[in-house]
Structure formats: structure tokens, C-alpha cells
Homo-oligomer: A and B are copies of this chain.
């Protein structure tokens, strides 16, 4: 549960709220990745995969970079973060993984809309790689 419920319309989040909101975005994407995986491993529901892919693409394109503001590089009280310091200094590297991620998410959404399962599998693999590429460099285990 996040503390800024009362100020749901405030655009400027406190550092601890930025950390919680980026974690919320990643967690929600992760749930949707799991749904796509389950569809590929079992009975394939094109509408469910398309919906999951659209949720991921919507989040990927929402400008999550704004949730890495000053003061969000360290734990703030109970609000823990796993971000590595490199994310705040390696601008070029971050730009590369971020662009690759957004492209993979958009490709996934487009492919899911068409519905060919083999192509979806390939797009899903690429998207998963793009998550991992960022985690490897910028997220603590």
C-alpha cells in the first residue's frame, strides 16, 4: 500500500513515492509477463495476451524515468530500493537499455494484436531480454 492515496492527483511525488511508484509499474508489468508466459505454455488466448501486452506497453511508454529523481538512489526509511548507483550516472547506458525496452514492448504489443503464436513467443523472448539487460546493469539482486 502506498501512502499518497490522499493526494492521488498530485503530479510531483516525494522521493519515497517515486520509488514506490516505479516498483508498482515494474510489478504490474511482471504480472502481465507472467500471464503471457502462461498463455504460451498452455492454452493460448489471443485477447488475454493482447491485453497483457498493451498494459506492459502502456507502462513502458509512460515516462518512468521521471521516477528516478533526486533522493531516490537510496532507501528512505521503510521504503527500500534495489536500484544501483550506476543508473544515476551512466546516462548513455541507461538510455540504451530504456530505448531497447520500449521498442521491445511496442513490438510485443503489435505482435500480440496480430496473434501469431510463434511470433508472439519470439517477441516475448526479446521483451524479457530487455528487462534482464536493465536489471543486470542497474538493479541489485
Residues of A within 8 A of B (CB): 1-2, 4-5, 7-13, 20-21, 23-25, 27-28, 30-35, 37-38, 48, 51-52, 54-59, 61-63, 67, 80-82, 128, 131
Contacts and interface: CB of A to CB of B under 8 A. Distances in A.
Given A9-B34, A31-B21, A33-B9, A1 B55 contact: no
Contacts of A28: 21, 24-25, 28, 59, 62
Say what secondary structure dominates the interface of chain A. Answer: helix
A134 to B, nearest CB: 13
B25 A13 contact: no
Contacts of A11: 34-35, 37-38
B33 A51 contact: no
Contact of A63 (B37, B51, B61): B51
